[in-house]
Amino acid sequence: MTLFDLALKNIRRNMKSYGLYIGSTIFSIIIYFTFATLKHSDDISGLAETSKQMQAIMSASAFVLMIFVAIFILYSNSFFMKRRKKEVALYSLLGVRKRSIGFLLFFENIVIGLLSLIVGVGLGFLLSQALLSLLLKLMGLSLSVGFAFSMQAVIETVVVFFLIFLVTSLLGYRVIYKFKLIDLFHAEKKGEEQPKARMISAVIGVIALVAAYWLALQDLLTSSAWRILGLAMPLVIIGLTILGSYLLFNSVLVYVLNVLKKSKTWAWKGLNLMTSSQLLYRIRGNAKTLTIIATLSATTITAGGAIFGTYYNTEKSVEELTPFSFMWEGEEQDIDEALIENAISFDTKEIVVEGEVYDQYYYVIGEETFKKLTDSLGWDIENLNLNKDEAIMVDPFYDERLQDKVDTVVVDNDVKKVEQLYEEPLFNLPTLPGTTLVVDDASFGEIDGENATYQAVQVTDYKDHLDLSKELEAKTENFSSAVQNYQDTIEASGAMLFVGSFLGLVFLVATGSIIFFKMMTEAEEDKDKYAVLYKIGVSKKEMKKTIRYQVGLIFLVPLVLGLMHGAVALMAFSNLLQMNLWEPIIIWMIAYTMIYILYYVITVRGFNKTITQTVTQEG
């Protein structure tokens, strides 16, 4: 029996701790391979017209994913190595050279890597097929997809993970070289210095966060901050946010815990003292992890919120862009009467008003037409009675930041005062883009302009009439339809949506796993303390309470900060697109919090299990 056999045996018997590690590497590989397959899939890249752009998005996402997966594996690897310190120390004590131990661990890691790659690619293949059909469904397409097995994706995955495993193996090797035998025998660490809250870092942290938020909420078009910083702006914002979060975790938490600990009435009650000390001693080391978690949470919330919000708003934006089910220029067409809710035939005149800087084109319609159209669209219009010198303007592209408000318009030498400005589109914009001027019917008759007839039709359940839309499109000019627009929007954003939701999901799972690993490491470190507590008569119930608090704080704090970051980022996002996204964003945040709470419950369970096992073994 050689040392190698013993090591193999050890793997088999230690399947639980190995299982956790192998599981997380397989998980990472599945995720990455699935993504790589989708990236290289012809079906996907053929979908979007701007497939180059699509490829770019996919490549960028793959990069983000790669970094993420690397961090994740490094994390689980270091957790795994910690658990095996005793074994390694014993080998060393019994006279195995460090080089041999290093080689053993290196070899083991490579074997685990290879196994995970095989399993991961296999499962990833199945998952990618499922996701591919889901994606196509999400995009509202009924294409039949053959099995897309991409050799390119396999190669890419193998290369990426080979590199990651090489790095973790080398790191493991380094651990062996750094470790001193005496550490095993003097388990009690040198007394760590009690962390003190540094006021200055708290202040800098708050300032950094406020600055980041302020910058994020600056208007892209008018703010001088954007002019000065330009494209570096997002980086500055992200940098400030991360710095601010880190400093906050580092100082404010320490401060709060110190205050709590000093308050005797609170601290000297039950296990409060223990809980707060525990957290206090860990906080410095935890600040980094907490920052990572807060950043990941913020990213997930922002990406998810933006994606979900956009998807949620597709319908709304479609209805804004094409308020009428169908619109075209020319004569009426035969449409099944039963479908029609409203059909309006009207005339427009196109006029040119000479301006100081540039000429302005207007579509002019009569008051009667305006009433019919707004009636059909359900606008709430006050009793209209336009005089000869009055007019109404409808400009869906009006932006007060970019243009001055027009007060008067000169039409055929008549000065007309603009009584009212509507910013919602009155027509389907693809058919009739631009600004509309509404004048009284008498004036309309007199105006000299290029005359045209248009049809606007409203049907019930516009999304169900793609065939009709196609039929009409073939027969008419300047045609636009809500259903076609809807289809196009979904298709264009569908891939984006998918990439976004996929990444969001990955980040979500990974955030939870990182906290889980973190807490399980702490459980390993704390179990002796809990064993002592149990021996001096602390009930299991009380210990569980402490655990709930200890784990709870580590979960809660980054979540709060992540939600805050996410909320600000999404506010900026909705300002940028001038969409009201609050409803979907709040739904998404609630969903995220629910999933997060689920992680919390799972982690507390795991923590409890580790502690209870130790306590009952020794007690």
Query: Site residues (CB under 8 A) for other proteins?
Result: 1-3, 5-6, 9-10, 13-14, 86-87, 90-99, 181-182, 184-185
Q: Which residue has the tokens 């707060």?
A: 276
Task: Compute the least distance from the CB of residue 85 to other proteins, in Å.
Answer: 12
Of 543, 472, 515, nearest to 294 by C-alpha is 515
Between CA 391 and CA 403 the distance in angstroms is 19
Task: Compute the least distance from the CB of residue 524 to other proteins, in Å.
Answer: 14
**Beta bridge partner(s), residue 366:** 439
Buried b (16+ CB within 10 A) or exposed e, 558-573: bbebbbbbbbbbbbbb
For other proteins, the closer CB: 97 or 227: 97
Task: Compute the least distance from the CB of residue 151 to other proteins, in Å.
Answer: 40
- The token pair that represents 126 in the structure block: 């199945």
For other proteins, the closer CB: 7 or 260: 7
With beta carbons less than 8 A apart as the criterion, state whether 289 and 246 touch.
no
- The token pair that represents 294 in the structure block: 């807060």
For other proteins, the closer CB: 14 or 387: 14
Neighbours of 312 (CB within 10 A): 17
With beta carbons less than 8 A apart as the criterion, state whether 276 and 260 touch.
yes
Task: Compute the least distance from the CB of residue 119 to other proteins, in Å.
Answer: 23
What one-character DSSP code corresponds to residue 382? P
Tell me the C-alpha to C-alpha distance, in Å, between residue 606 and each of 276, 523, 583: 21, 9, 35
**Beta bridge partner(s), residue 390:** 417
Between CA 25 and CA 74 the distance in angstroms is 10
For other proteins, the closer CB: 89 or 570: 89
Task: Compute the least distance from the CB of residue 75 to other proteins, in Å.
Answer: 24
DSSP string of 233-259?
HHHHHHHHHHHHHHHHHHHHHHHHHHH
With beta carbons less than 8 A apart as the criterion, state whether 164 and 69 touch.
yes
Q: Which helix (H) or strand (E) holds 618?
A: helix 582-618
For other proteins, the closer CB: 98 or 544: 98
For other proteins, the closer CB: 5 or 380: 5
**Per residue, what are the HEC states of 392-435?**
EEECCCCCCCCCCCCCEEEECCEEEEEEEEECCCCCCCCCCCCC
For other proteins, the closer CB: 1 or 231: 1
Q: At a CB cut-off of 8 Å and minimum separation 6, what does 510 contact?
A: 68, 72, 296
For other proteins, the closer CB: 441 or 618: 618
Neighbours of 237 (CB within 10 A): 24
Task: Compute the least distance from the CB of residue 179 to other proteins, in Å.
Answer: 11
For other proteins, the closer CB: 84 or 349: 84
For other proteins, the closer CB: 94 or 357: 94
DSSP string of 483-505?
HHHHHHHHHHHHHHHHHHHHHHH
Between CA 187 and CA 477 the distance in angstroms is 83
For other proteins, the closer CB: 183 or 423: 183
Task: Compute the least distance from the CB of residue 107 to other proteins, in Å.
Answer: 16
Task: Compute the least distance from the CB of residue 84 to other proteins, in Å.
Answer: 10
Tell me the C-alpha to C-alpha distance, in Å, between residue 146 and each of 41, 138, 149, 507: 10, 18, 9, 29
Task: Compute the least distance from the CB of residue 3 to other proteins, in Å.
Answer: 5
Task: Compute the least distance from the CB of residue 530 to other proteins, in Å.
Answer: 18
Task: Compute the least distance from the CB of residue 283 to other proteins, in Å.
Answer: 25
Task: Compute the least distance from the CB of residue 538 to other proteins, in Å.
Answer: 23
Q: At a CB cut-off of 8 Å and minimum separation 6, what does 611 contact?
A: 523, 526, 527, 530, 543, 547
Task: Compute the least distance from the CB of residue 605 to other proteins, in Å.
Answer: 23
For other proteins, the closer CB: 99 or 316: 99
For other proteins, the closer CB: 104 or 553: 104
For other proteins, the closer CB: 91 or 213: 91
Task: Compute the least distance from the CB of residue 171 to other proteins, in Å.
Answer: 20
For other proteins, the closer CB: 93 or 118: 93
Q: At a CB cut-off of 8 Å and minimum separation 6, what does 556 contact?
A: none
For other proteins, the closer CB: 96 or 509: 96
Strand ranges (DSSP E) for 116-222? none
Q: What residue type is assigned to position 434 of the chain?
A: G
Task: Compute the least distance from the CB of residue 614 to other proteins, in Å.
Answer: 13
Neighbours of 356 (CB within 10 A): 4
Task: Compute the least distance from the CB of residue 601 to other proteins, in Å.
Answer: 29
Tell me the C-alpha to C-alpha distance, in Å, between residue 430 and each of 277, 425, 452: 65, 11, 16
Between CA 553 and CA 522 the distance in angstroms is 13
